Structure 1
Amino acid sequence: MKASSCICLYDAVTTVTVPFIPVFLCGRHTGRVQLPRHLAFGSLAGFLVAFSLPPWGWWPLALIGFALLSYAILDTTRLQRFATGWAMGFVWLAMGELWMFDLTAPGYVFVFVVFGAGYGLAAVAAGSGERQRVLLPAANVIIEWLRWAWPFGGVPLATVPMTQVESPLATVLPLGGGLLLVAVTVLSGIALRLLWQRRFDHAAMTFGPVVVAVIIGVMVPNGSVIDTLDVAVVQGGGPQRTRADVCENQAVFERHVEATNTIDREVDLIVWPENVVNPIADGTPLGRCDDLFYMTEAMDRVAEVARQQNAVLIPGWFHNDGPRHNVNYSTAVNPDGETVSRYDKVRIVPFGEFVPLRGFIENFSDDVPSRDVRAGDGPAILDSDVGRFGVSISWEIFFESRGRAAIRDGGEVLINPTNGSSYWLTILQSQQVASSQLRALETGRWVLQAAPTGFSAIVSPDGELLDRTDVSEQKVLYATIERREGLTLATRFGPWPMLVLAALALAGTSLRRRDAT
């Protein structure tokens, strides 16, 4: 291989990309690691998209990343396009989901190798000519949706919509949801490439649909106000990167009672995080623990908190349910201490709350958790004296389908009790806040996110992050929010219009190519 056929990566790019992708040496005497042109461009594009994600959040970099991808796949073979797209997805997901390495190293590798290949296929489908102005957005819409839905229910992390949640493009979300935001993000990148090439007429035609979508997104209805509520979102605080320990369950609960007791004003609603009420069956022996948090005590204490605060309390529960299962749910407790509603988590976490292919995996590992969380199947709402609340517990907030289900079931506010205390770094927690912003914009609802060690947040229906805690601190967030009704177009129709348009674009171009041949 001649040195002229390769591009040397400068130190900043090499440092990030070389550990993640196959490298080739070119030039015997340079002493520098070099990559083929398509891998280099793809890696740099992935680097840019990764840094547009939370927690970094430099959203223009995603547009530059897709502009670079669009340029790099012009006049290339299918193999070169695949390598470019794969390298982009590889680096983007390896950086954007780095936290996963601490949780499951094999799962982490699977994500950026296999899902990265999906973006390689999208680049192949886009072709090497100017039809990519239609095909590259369409192919990325399909690949993003597949990643959000497969395998085991999907892994919608480090997504394109997260990169744009703070950008003007996010105003398209009430119109067409996350997939429309994917399309306009990629289109904007292609328009940027055309501007750089000084092809101004083509750039204007490419960016035109983006402008139209943004304008319509601003104009479409996003619901109306029913009434207002004074709310308190409670974060009990405590150490980060911890694992569940039955001996610590009482301490976690007490930290949230302590924080709740600092509430210094009258409120209508108090939101606690996911699984901070984590009791065990009455009569269980102490074993190695000095004390245990029993079910009867937990029920009495929760009712007492609601009565003392004279407010509706939404606590998150987690406990055993028979010999093989756990349950993860939230309840609504009225000011008189009566529990009046319960929602069991529907979308549970693969390899975290349940083990897919358990019978097969148990043949090869003795470390498989003995219990799965029993998935719920009821409507995603909690009724109370002060309103009907849509609920997306923890992982569910990453799925637009769960937010949509909660609002279609009549949710007037969207509640996200969560628990990120087990995770390394703050990448996942930052992306969860971004997901709450996406759900707020898509549904036209306020979103209240409560986490035991951070981040807790309050998000307005226009996606503005009004308040957020820091990691590990004990704090109560206050706000006056609106109960709202009505459905946005994105909530009413979901992803199907964009999926149909993307499929038609890909199929139509394929047929035209066949006719031309």
Structure 2
Amino acid sequence: MTDVEPMPSARPPLPLWGAVVVAAVAGALMAFAFPAAAIWPLVFVALALLLPALMGRRIGGALLVGLAYGLVFFAVQVSFTARYLGPVPWVALTVVEGALTAVALLPITLAYRWLPRAWPRSRAIVLPFVVAGLWTVHELFLGNWPYGGFPWARLGMSQAQGPFAPVASWLGVSGLSFLMVALAALLVEVVRMRGWRRPWLLIAPVLTALVLSLTPLFPTAPSGDMRIAAVQGNGSTGYFDEREPYGVMTAQTDATRAIGDGPVDLLVWPEGGIDYDPFQDETTARRLTRLVNEFGAPLLANTATERGDRIFNTSFLWMEDGDATQLHDKRHPVPFGEYVPDRDFYYALAPDLIGLIGREYTPGSNPPVVRVDGVGVGLAICFDVIYDEVIRESVTQGAQVLVFQTNNADFRGTDENLQQLAFARMRAVETGRSVVNVSTVGTSQIIRPDGSTVASLDADEAGALLEDVELRSGLTAGVVLGPWIQLVMLVAAPGALIIAGLWSRRRG
């Protein structure tokens, strides 16, 4: 034991009741770091409160602290789910994600217990980076399980309007989350170890802050432009909206014709922008063919399609000759929204709610990219924007621009559309690609590769965005290294924790 790095006291810095209150406050602050408030510095304030609240706890206490944080955070973050269906889905999602968060944060408590015992000199640098790795593992856990996961609240995504976003173009969103947590954990240790008396303790946090602040965007190569019209029809596309036959398609068509007679390379409609399956309904097919011939440009549209006894959420490129062989099916249908896993079990619990979900969408397997005159257009349908592998596959298969189609009608008047838009903005930065994010009811935007906005349509407004959208080629380091960074985190952080646990037991 040395005077430079003293062994911390086994006593937790806060009583359990105080730690629970502090964790709940941290959850609220963390939620406000995301849109609509988007006060990104609150990420660090929340972490500075939560990490000490986890220190020195027994397993039961750590789970209680993690649960307080998770419940408050998700209660605020996903409150949009109560917009039409009432409190049951909101409470259910909050409780499930809050409980999973509590379990996933438990290793951080163990890290604060075991690493200083096993390696007393680890506190200044190794411990904070292990904590950051374990946080990243917690995000990956929530993002993949259960039922495909819910990667909606990764800390890196809070930087859509923050200064650290360019880091994602080098390390991916998970790498950005890792460095943000590392900075907070390093600063916590500086305070705990009275770093103002030992200036060398400031070297690691200062270097981490400089990396976060000064990293430039990873360069990609300009490769021309494409004149794209993104159309927001503002039709009746909500689950409980009253609809007229072909009403949604009529609203989209009217908004499309508002762009005038100028040249267009690609028309883009949002998710659910067509009422009926054009591969089954001849009237829909004729209207689509008439429209694309009127503008002399193919239409990228979306609707529910049937193939045999299976239903897909499908985006397709409709050509002037009526051909629509290029299509992409949504990879991750939303559980309890687009299908019901273990339907019999959940129907017994909430028959009225489960009974509303009549369709059972099948996950797609075709590539998330179509080609327009040789230009690769990458796709992600609605919540697929939050899944790394969908975005990565589109770019590695040659996408020079990304198009995200969504239907936010069931969340009118909530923060959901702004949260999803922030994810789209981060994808632009991460991949070095322009993004066309088009919604049925808003907010729709065209976004540059640096994350800045080219043009925007507010929510509940019918209209179209017509812009020369920059095309880019080449892969960013974030796209190439992102999955490897995640793999390293999944192996190294738990591995370091296990070794520390075994070694600390040997040291008594």
Q: Tell me, in whole angstroms, the C-alpha distance in 1 between the residues paired with 2:283 and 2:482.
A: 43
Which of 224, 229, 235 lines up with 2:221 in the alignment?
Answer: 224
Q: Which residue of 2 aligns with 1:211?
A: 210
Q: Which residue of 1 aligns with 2:146?
A: 151
Cα distance 1:238–1:275, how it changes in 2: closer, same or farther (>3 A)?
closer
1:99 aligns with 2:84: no
1:60 aligns with 2:36: no
Q: Which residue of 2 aligns with 1:515?
A: 503
**How is 1:430-441 mapped onto 2 (pairs within 5 angstroms)?**
430-441=418-429
TM-score by length of 2: 0.85
Which of 101, 105, 115 lines up with 2:100 in the alignment?
Answer: 115
For structure 1, the residue ranges without an aligned partner over 5 or more in a row are 8-33, 283-293
**2:274 aligned counterpart, secondary structure:** coil
Q: Tell me, in whole angstroms, the C-alpha distance in 1 between the residues paired with 2:42 and 2:381.
A: 31
Deviations 1:338-384 (A, max 9, x none): 43521122221111111112354456637443431132211111122
Q: Tell me, in whole angstroms, the C-alpha distance in 1 between the residues paired with 2:278 and 2:270.
A: 21
**How is 1:76-475 mapped onto 2 (pairs within 5 angstroms)?**
76-102=57-83, 103=85, 104-105=89-90, 107-128=92-113, 130=123, 132-193=127-188, 199-200=195-196, 201=199, 202-212=201-211, 215=214, 217-218=215-216, 220-221=218-219, 223-238=220-235, 242-243=239-240, 247-264=243-260, 265-279=262-276, 295-322=281-308, 325-335=310-320, 337-362=322-347, 365=351, 367-368=354-355, 369-385=357-373, 387-475=375-463
Q: Which residue of 2 aligns with 1:13?
A: none
Check conservation: 1:84, 1:120, Cα contact below 8 A.
no
Deviations 1:304-356 (A, max 9, x none): 1111112221111224445x542221111335554352112222111111111
Letter in 2 for 1:334: M
Check conservation: 1:54, 1:162, Cα contact below 8 A.
no
1:46 aligns with 2:13: no
Identity of aligned residues (%): 26
Deviations 1:389-424 (A, max 9, x none): 111111111111111111112211111111110125
**1:422 aligned counterpart, secondary structure:** helix
Deviations 1:197-254 (A, max 9, x none): 6625324313423533665x52644x21221112111100146855266x43511111
**2:129 aligned counterpart, secondary structure:** helix
Cα distance 1:162–1:301, how it changes in 2: closer, same or farther (>3 A)?
same
Check conservation: 1:227, 1:484, Cα contact below 8 A.
yes
Cα distance 1:375–1:502, how it changes in 2: closer, same or farther (>3 A)?
closer
Check conservation: 1:234, 1:256, Cα contact below 8 A.
yes
1:196 CA drift (Å): 5.9
Check conservation: 1:146, 1:154, Cα contact below 8 A.
yes
For structure 2, the residue ranges without an aligned partner over 5 or more in a row are 1-11, 117-122
- Say what the alpha-carbon RMSD is for the aligned residues: 2.8
Q: Tell me, in whole angstroms, the C-alpha distance in 2 between the residues paired with 1:277 and 1:296.
A: 13
Deviations 1:409-464 (A, max 9, x none): 22111111111101253221111101101211221111111111112111111122
**2:223 aligned counterpart, secondary structure:** strand
1:43 CA drift (Å): 1.0
Letter in 1 for 2:275: N
Q: Which residue of 2 aligns with 1:286?
A: none
Cα distance 1:181–1:300, how it changes in 2: closer, same or farther (>3 A)?
same
1:303 CA drift (Å): 1.2
Check conservation: 1:249, 1:279, Cα contact below 8 A.
no
Deviations 1:132-166 (A, max 9, x none): 41232111100101111111111122331222222
Letter in 1 for 2:149: G
Q: Tell me, in whole angstroms, the C-alpha distance in 2 between the residues paired with 1:90 and 1:53.
A: 16
Cα distance 1:317–1:118, how it changes in 2: closer, same or farther (>3 A)?
same
Return 39-48 or 478-487, whichever deviates more: 478-487
Q: Tell me, in whole angstroms, the C-alpha distance in 1 between the residues paired with 2:237 and 2:282.
A: 29
1:480 CA drift (Å): 1.6
**1:311 aligned counterpart, secondary structure:** coil
Q: Tell me, in whole angstroms, the C-alpha distance in 1 between the residues paired with 2:239 and 2:254.
A: 20
Check conservation: 1:249, 1:277, Cα contact below 8 A.
no
Deviations 1:96-148 (A, max 9, x none): 11112344245324334323314542432331564641232111100101111
Check conservation: 2:237, 2:272, Cα contact below 8 A.
no
Return 249-258 or 50-59, whichever deviates more: 249-258
**1:448 aligned counterpart, secondary structure:** strand
Cα distance 1:232–1:507, how it changes in 2: closer, same or farther (>3 A)?
same
Which of 488, 492, 506 lines up with 1:500 in the alignment?
Answer: 488
Deviations 1:67-116 (A, max 9, x none): 12233334444444433333222211111111123442453243343233
Q: Tell me, in whole angstroms, the C-alpha distance in 1 between the residues paired with 2:362 and 2:70.
A: 33
